[in-house]
Each structure stands twice: as C-alpha cells, then as structure tokens.
Amino acid sequence: MTRQDTPNKEQFDFHEDKFAAGFDNATPDINPISAWETVNADEFHESVVGAMACGAITCPEGLEILVFPASVEESQVALIVVWSTVAARSGYVAAGFLEPRDFPDRSMWAEPDAKRRTEKVLREIVTMANSVIDQVRAVEQVITTRSNGHNRR
C-alpha cells in the first residue's frame, strides 16, 4: 500500500487516482487551473471544492479547506484557510498565502498540461493546510471549553 491508499485521519490527503478520475471524466469534478496570466483565487477555490467533492482531497474529521482572494486588488493571491466545524461555533486558522510566483517550479505555469498544473497547485494547498492542523485543533479546544462555560469571565 502506498501512502495515498492509507489516509491519515489527522491530515488532509491527496489521492492521485481520484484526482485523475475527477479531472478526466466527461463532466469534470475538478476545475483546471489556468495559466499564470489569468489564474485567480476563485479558480483555486473551485478546484479545491471539486477535489474534496470527488474524494481527491480527503479531510480530517470536521475540517475543510477554504480559499479566499487576499484582496480585491490582488485576486491572484489566495488566502488558504483551514476551517473547523467540530464545535458548536466554528473556527479557523489561516494556513498562508498562495500566489503563482511563489511556486518553486515556475515553469509549471507555462506548460500546456492543465492537469499537471492543477495537481501541483492542489498538492501545495494540501501541504499548506496540513501545516496548521495542530493550531486548528488548539482553536477547537478553546472554543469547546468556552462554549461549555469554562474560563468565562
């Protein structure tokens, strides 16, 4: 078994086989990421949502990845957020900003294969989301403790 076949329940996982199926079917579940000049945070978000819906990205219990534009002026820059829905009140932790020029392999933006480009972007987003899971779980603990009446002033 490969790492992709055995999902870790406390991290986001990327599944190549489900990505291929979700990207290649007649009505793709996963929107392709366009080239450098036109890519924006909404595209990142739509691809993530599609990948989660078809199982290409699996999430730890009660967590989701959300993507927002960093600002109106910089729609290419995306804010990657891990959202928790475990507690009665939800919480989130920002995993960081993602922008095309930050990728170590900038040549991926020039390649004509949108599938490879989309896979690389989604893998990067999963890596970013995994980097803040401990912080999200700590936020959940604080929310749960406070909603149970503890530590209130």
Per-residue pLDDT reduced to its tens digit, 64-93: 999 999 888 888 889 999 988 876 667 778
pLDDT, tens only, 22-43: 998 877 899 999 877 788 899 9
Q: What is the separation of C-alpha 118 from the centre of its chain, rounded to a whole number of angstroms? A: 12
Question: How confident is residue 144, by pLDDT bands cut at 50, 70 and 90?
Answer: confident
* Residues whose CB falls within 8 Å of the CB of residue 38, separated by 6 or more in sequence, listed in order: none
pTM above 0.75, yes or no: yes
Per-residue pLDDT, 151: 53
